[in-house]
Structure 1
Amino acid sequence: MLYEIIGDQPVPVPTSSFCGHGESEATLCSWIVGRPSMLHEDLLILNEDCSTFAGSNVRPDVLALDRQGRLVLIEVKRDVATRSAIAQVLTYVGFASRLTVQQIIEIFGDYLERLGNCRDSASPLICRFLGEPDPAQLTLNPPLSQRAVVVAGGFSTDARVAADWLVDQGVPIQFFETVYMPQEERCLLDLSEINPPFMSVAQPGSAEARLSLNAVVAGPVIDKAETYHRFWEHVIERFKLAGDERFGSGTTPSGNMLLRSWHSRGGVRFALIMNKSEAGVGMSFFRAEDVLDALIERRADIERRFGDALDWRRETNRFGVFCNCSILNEGNWSETAEWMVETLPRFVAAVEPALVEVLAGS
């Protein structure tokens, strides 16, 4: 609630929805495009309200790039967003995950041209934004790095339930709520990020019982991006202290995973994993399922070299060794990092002979 001080008394400023005041979603989109920092970060706008993905007529409201080279898909609703808004933005994220560096540059070039600017400046502008002087070294849209943002005047119950589940699964999605405050000579806009969990856990009993149960089940509300950033910084420092530079330069943090690409084949990556229920050391395969299948055929040899059974998760295109722990238990971060430092060399030594053989034959 925003208050205006009249005399010596705070008086609530009347609010209105965009819908009730006659403003359109296009107006709100134009404000975000004109000042992306409204979303609390630096973004480079790549496209807006235009068919972006080849072979599809879906039209994300805004396509942007963050300072880490990750694509940000923004869906805007002038009033209350339902679950369909979340489905929309996740569909856009799915399409965006397939974009190559050249396709992203072409999309941005088309946008610049529509604005009356030179399309050939797309690559230099992206380089300048990311602080990368060499266009040939541009790293854009790393696997599993895409982010979703929903901006709305509120969120329906079904949208809030869906949002809670997505955030709990580590999906990089943010929610911003708008409050529009028209006045006689000016208009005010409040755009605030809201952090799930939105909902109490529905259980029989009193409202107090439900709230109490929610506190136990849902656990503390944390800034997941900040928490993961601190955890991975801690892990990388432990690797450096051990003289292991595999997760130094060239490392791509992506939420609950820390990825290091295999130099011979895109999409074949060592992966460190950490979430609310487990930590892992393994490999992840993005559009390289053929390599994973070939390694599965060599499973017995790999596990013999490792000295123990590995967890093969073909449905999520990864495998490795996992242990029970939680990102929420900061007191165990050092122990988890040490386990990763000790386990990774054993894992690499077990997998590398088979991986070299597979890649040599591909």
Structure 2
Amino acid sequence: MFKIDPQSNRISRIETKRFSELGFRERDHLQEWLANQPDALGEELLIIQKEFDGFDDTRERLDLLAIDKEGNLVVIENKLDDTGRDVIWQALKYASYCSNLTKSQIIEIYQSYLDRYCNGGDARTFLCEFFEVPDLSEMVFNSGTNQRLMLVAANFRKEVTSTALWLLNHGIQIQCFKVTPYAMNVDLFLNVEQIIPTPEAKELMIGMSAKEAEEKSTVVELKSRHKIRTAFWGQTLEAMRNSRCDLFNNINPSKDHWLSAGSGVRSCPYTLIFGVKEVRVQIEMTRADTEENKFLFDSLHGQKDKIEQSFGAELQWFRLDSKKASRVQYRKEFEGHNKDNWPEMIAWLVENVTKLELAFKQPLIEINTKLKTLNLASEEEV
């Protein structure tokens, strides 16, 4: 590997190193790097435990346990300068142990990880955010024999790569990543390269496994949920049309768990939420510019008492500092998929979205006008 110097139009060699000569250790360094930057392995993964030893009748520990966007468990085994001969056998054992983990056990494992290494947090909430679902009943975790293996090392022995390719051809999801440290003066670099399967081969394999993916119970479950949501929104929109609320007059039923209508202010929709355990009405600030969203939210929050008095109840205000959007919501718990509850749920949604619009309409217009003025002033300064 070389560093390019555009000014001199020359290249300088970046020296290949061994982890051992740099003083790096497997557990203290390589494992920590991947735990804190799992997308270095080429995809979005959520680390749910490290040094996991929750296996009955064994003292063995797997290096990192992760979950992918499909809900599959991923066993990550790290070696430094050499894989050794037994790394695949080791990883296969761990995958077999993990194959029996239930959804509730996975949540408990992740909660333990958060409590021990991340200063706490709610595992269910973080998992919902990772999977972008309103609740975890939408997800199937650790389905069947879909556990995945990732092997990470600086050098792979032939017996390891040969076995990995054989397993890959027999439907075992295994990947090998070669990690190489480099040095140039005092600067250190790390290259992470997937060598099995090659990216080109992986693309070809996606089509081969598509049929199996379609057969997953998650897909069947989601199709059922989509039918339920479409039916619920159909009844809700019919009730809206027979009410004094005209926000949703031009909106069609959806398979999603949410339904939005414009407020008259750009990217600040009124949204209805239909969940398994609750329904919500909310107003969202979802502009492309974070500062504009926070300005809208803060300005509305400055009129919190007046708005809540108009609405007739205390609202929940979520500025969401770590995210681009913000929202204000009002919720009530229901067993959402029990159709006997639908008339009461729909009446609640109609009543409260009507009240929400009345409470926010004028403040929102005034604040939006002020925001436009501020933006215009900023443009003039430029």
Residue of 89, 99, 102 corresponding to 2:101: 99
State the Cα deviation string for residues 68-97 of structure 1 (Å, max 9, x = none). 000000000111112311111111111111
In 1, Cα distance between the equivalents of 2:44 and 2:219?
Answer: 21
Amino acid at match of 1:223: A
User: Of 192, 201, 208, which aligns to 1:223?
Assistant: 201
- Can you give the 5+ residue segments of structure 1 that lack an aligned partner in the other structure? 198-220, 237-245, 253-259, 261-362
CA RMSD, Structure 1 to Structure 2 (Å): 2.7
Task: Please say if residues 52 and 60 of structure 1, whose CA atoms lie closer than 8 Å, have aligned partners that are also in contact.
Answer: no
1:33 to 10, 32, 35: 35
* Candidates 25, 41, 44, aligned match of 1:42: 44
Is the Cα contact below 8 Å between 2:140 and 2:217 reproduced in 1? no
Shift of 1:133: 1.1
- Are residues 1:152 and 2:120 paired? no
Q: Which secondary structure does the structure 1 equivalent of 2:130 belong to?
A: helix
SS, match of residue 89 in structure 2:
helix
- Cα distance in 2 between the residues matched to 1:249 and 1:122: 23
Distance 1:69 1:161 in 2: 28
**In 2, Cα distance between equivalents of 1:36 and 1:89:** 18
- Give percent identity, aligned residues only: 31
Written as runs of structure 1 = structure 2, the 5 A alignment for 1:1-362 is 2-5=1-4, 7-26=8-27, 27-115=29-117, 117-118=119-120, 121-195=122-196, 223-224=201-202, 226-231=203-208, 233=210, 247=215, 250-251=218-219
Give me the whole-angstrom Cα distance separating, in 1, the residues matched to 2:44 and 2:78.
Answer: 18
TM-aligned CA deviation for residue 125 of structure 1: 1.1
- Which secondary structure does the structure 1 equivalent of 2:128 belong to? helix
Q: Is contact 1:64–1:72 with CA below 8 Å preserved after alignment?
A: yes
Runs of 4+ in 1 over 6 A off after TM superposition: none
Report the TM-score when normalising by structure 2.
0.52
Secondary structure of 2:86 counterpart: helix
Which residue does the alignment assign to 1:281?
none
Which is greater in Rg? Answer: 2
Residues 234-277 of structure 1 show CA distances to partners (whole Å, capped at 9, x for unaligned) of x69xxxxxxxxx9598348xxxxxxx9xxxxxxxxxxxxxxxxx
CA gap of 1:170–1:222, structure 2 versus 1, over 3 A, is farther
Separation in 2 of the partners of 1:163 and 1:248?
Answer: 25
The 3-state SS of whatever aligns with 1:48 is strand
Q: Decide whether the 8 Å contact of 1:70 with 1:146 is kept in 2.
A: yes
Q: Report what 1:270 is aligned to.
A: none
Letter in 1 for 2:152: V
Measure the CA separation in 1 of the matches of 2:93 and 2:185.
Answer: 40
- Aligned equivalents of 1:69, 1:181: Cα separation in 2: 34
After superposition, the Cα gap between the structure-2 partners of 1:106 and 1:247, relative to the gap in structure 1 and judged at 3 Å, is closer
Code of the aligned partner of 1:3 = F
1:168 and 1:138, CA in 2 relative to 1: closer, same or farther beyond 3 A? closer
| Alignment check: 8 A CA contact 1:29 1:61 kept | yes
Deviation for aligned residue 1:116 = 5.1
Deviation at 1:123, TM superposition (A): 1.5
CA distance in 2: counterparts of 1:29 and 1:248, whole angstroms: 32
Relative distance call for 1:138 and 1:250 in structure 2 (3 A) is: closer
> 1:130: how far off?
1.0
Give the number of equivalent residue pairs: 218
Q: State the 1:99 CA deviation.
A: 0.4
Give me the TM-score of the superposition, normalised by structure 1.
0.55
Residues 281-332 of structure 1, C-alpha deviations (whole Å, 9 max, x = no match): xxxxxxxxxxxxxxxxxxxxxxxxxxxxxxxxxxxxxxxxxxxxxxxxxxxx
CA contact (8 A) 2:139 2:218 kept: no
Change in CA separation of 1:231 and 1:51 when aligned onto 2, cut-off 3 Å: closer
Secondary structure at 1:42's aligned position in 2?
A: coil
Q: Which amino acid aligns with 1:37?
A: D
Deviation at 1:51, TM superposition (A): 1.4
C-alpha separation in 2, matches of 1:182 and 1:11: 11
Gap change, CA 1:248 and 1:162, over 3 Å in 2: closer
Q: What is the rounded CA distance, in whole Å, between the counterparts of 1:92 and 1:102 in structure 2?
A: 19
Q: Specify whether residues 229 and 56 from structure 1 end up closer, same or farther in structure 2 by C-alpha distance, changes over 3 A only.
A: same
Task: For 1:136 and 1:196, locate their aligned partners in 2 and report how far apart those are by CA, in whole Å.
Answer: 33
Q: Give the distance between the partners of 1:249 and 1:74, measured in 2 at CA.
A: 25
Given residue 150 of structure 1, which amino acid in structure 2 is its aligned partner?
L
Kindly provide the amino acid, as one letter, of the partner of residue 187 in structure 1: L
Alpha-carbon offset, residue 166 of structure 1: 1.4
Report the Cα distance in structure 2 between the residues aligned to 1:92 and 1:249, rounded to whole angstroms: 24
- What runs of 5+ residues in structure 2 fail to find an aligned partner? 224-382
**In the alignment, is the contact (CA less than 8 A) between 1:83 and 1:162 conserved in 2?**
no
Q: Deviations over 1:112-164 (max 9, x none)?
A: 11125336x11121122112212333311111110000000011122122222
Alpha-carbon spacing, 1:156–1:116, altered in 2? closer, same or farther (3 Å): closer
Q: What letter is aligned with 2:3?
A: E
